[in-house]
Amino acid sequence: MVRRSARRGTIRRIGNSPLLYVLAALALVMAACSSGSDGGSEGSNGTEELVIGVLSLESGFFATLGIPYQTAMQIAVDEVNDQGGLEVGDKTYHVTLDVQDTKLDVPTALSIAEEMITRDGIKFIMSVGDPIDTAVAPLTNRNKVIMLAETINLEPVEEGVGPYTFGTLPTPYECSIILFEALAELHPEATRVAFVGPDFEFSRIQWEGIQEGGNEVGGLEFGAAEFYADPNDAASIAQRTIADDPDVILIGSVGLDGAAIIRAIRNLGYDGLFATAHAQPSSAQLIDAFEGQEELIEEYLSVEDQPYMEDNAALQTLFDEYSERAAGTEITPEGLPTFYAGILTLFQALQDAGTVSDPDAIVDALENVSVKTPVWTDLSGNELEITYGGVEKLGHDHQIEMPVAVNVIRGGEVETLDVQVAEVE
């Protein structure tokens, strides 16, 4: 059920005017154990350097994802460094991100990762997700490099890969359960479901998880899925998507294609609902794209990796800081609290392990890590726990259990109806 509260927040769009930067406090717990030798390089003021590689997307189809991804993590890193550095065991580290643009190209990503590992000696990599992580995981595993990947399903990287990869996005299965429960409450008449997404493997993983979650909720009829190869042929994509006369069309991870596809579907006379279990683009990005035509996305329902809650000061500070840093990109935020919290799980695990050089100890710490941050609260202001706990449903304990928001677009504004942890049962 969608839990309602007087603490709902709305936001029209994120502005670019600089605001005072307020450091959000990090709950960093010191480990009692001492560290051994490590791979950090000696820095100034008695600190050592800890470099984390970032396989990102700064250009092309998913720049709308990559820019928020790397910027949110850089904000978290700067907060740690501004507080004196990351204390691990008896040492203090100045954290640096080595951000590289993979261009969503597997050979490019492999070449970058190879250089990070063999030339630069990097022991930790953050990856923007499928299909990059699937290709890079065997390399990171062989070298016992810990990779935290924005992936929705670890199964493609599990077999023969080993324990060094962690997924930092909730999967479509639990997100779709939350979505369809909200849909049943808000629009019980909407039962026939279609799906549209790019012709990538992660789209098929999304659709499979969506159907599995929907079948668990019940009362739904799933039509065909449209996996398009040419995003420029929006009219044909639209015709195929509405062929089964759906009540609701689920939008996959369509990135910059989203606005054109939705417009093309509306141009064909479709007057049903749009929804998404993995908001790419985000609700805020859609509102920017449909400025002056907000009626085309009225009642757009999303399970999203960021809430819109003006009364959450830490969340608003994160939005404001992003807006200042990313002002020149013209990319509206997506997933900021999720990307921000993801790297916090690594920082906390390093402190819990008391080392940056023992990958097996760090893996054990990640498997047992618990992080709370004020950017992720429920509607009553309670900070929500973030762990890696997908063992029962997914057969492993390396998939994150992360909060998600149930959002709806109404009158050109995003309203957050609920925030809850997407739990794997």
Reported pTM: 0.85
pLDDT at 229: 92
- The alpha carbon dihedral of 55, 174, 200, 252 has a sign of negative
387-334-393 Cα angle (round to 5): 35
Q: What would the DSSP string read from start to end of 60-77? A: STTHHHHHHHHHHHHHHH
- Cβ-proximal residues to 258 (8 Å cutoff; 6+ apart), any chain: 251, 280, 281, 285, 286, 289
pLDDT of residue 41: 56
Which is more confidently placed, 45 or 354?
A: 354
Residue 364 reports pLDDT greater than 50: yes
Q: Are 207 and 155 in contact (CB under 8 A)?
A: no
Q: Average model confidence (pLDDT) for the chain?
A: 85
- Residues 343 and 75: beta-carbon distance below 8 Å: no
Q: Is pLDDT at 194 greater than 70 in this prediction?
A: yes
Domains of the chain: 10-169+309-402 (3.40.50.2300), 172-277 (3.40.50.2300)
pLDDT tens-digit series, residues 110-131: 999 999 999 999 999 999 887 8
Taking the C-alpha atoms of residue 73 and residue 244, their distance in angstroms, rounded to an integer, is 42
> What 8-state DSSP symbol labels residue 50?
E
Is pLDDT larger for residue 260 or for residue 281? 260
Tens of pLDDT along 269-307? Answer: 999 999 999 888 889 989 999 999 999 999 999 999 999
Q: What is the pLDDT of residue 422?
A: 85
**Amino acid sitting at position 158:** E
Q: What is the mean predicted confidence (pLDDT) over 331-359? A: 95
Q: What is the DSSP letter of 35?
A: P
pLDDT at 38: 56
Q: Cβ contacts of residue 170 below 8 Å, gap of 6+?
A: 152, 305, 399, 400, 401, 402, 404, 422
The alpha carbon dihedral of 4, 382, 416, 273 has a sign of negative
Continuous segment of H or E residues that includes residue 359:
helix 359-367
Instruction: From 402, 406, 396, 398, select the one nearest 423 (Cα to Cα).
Output: 402
Residues 6+ apart with CB under 8 A from 360: 144, 163
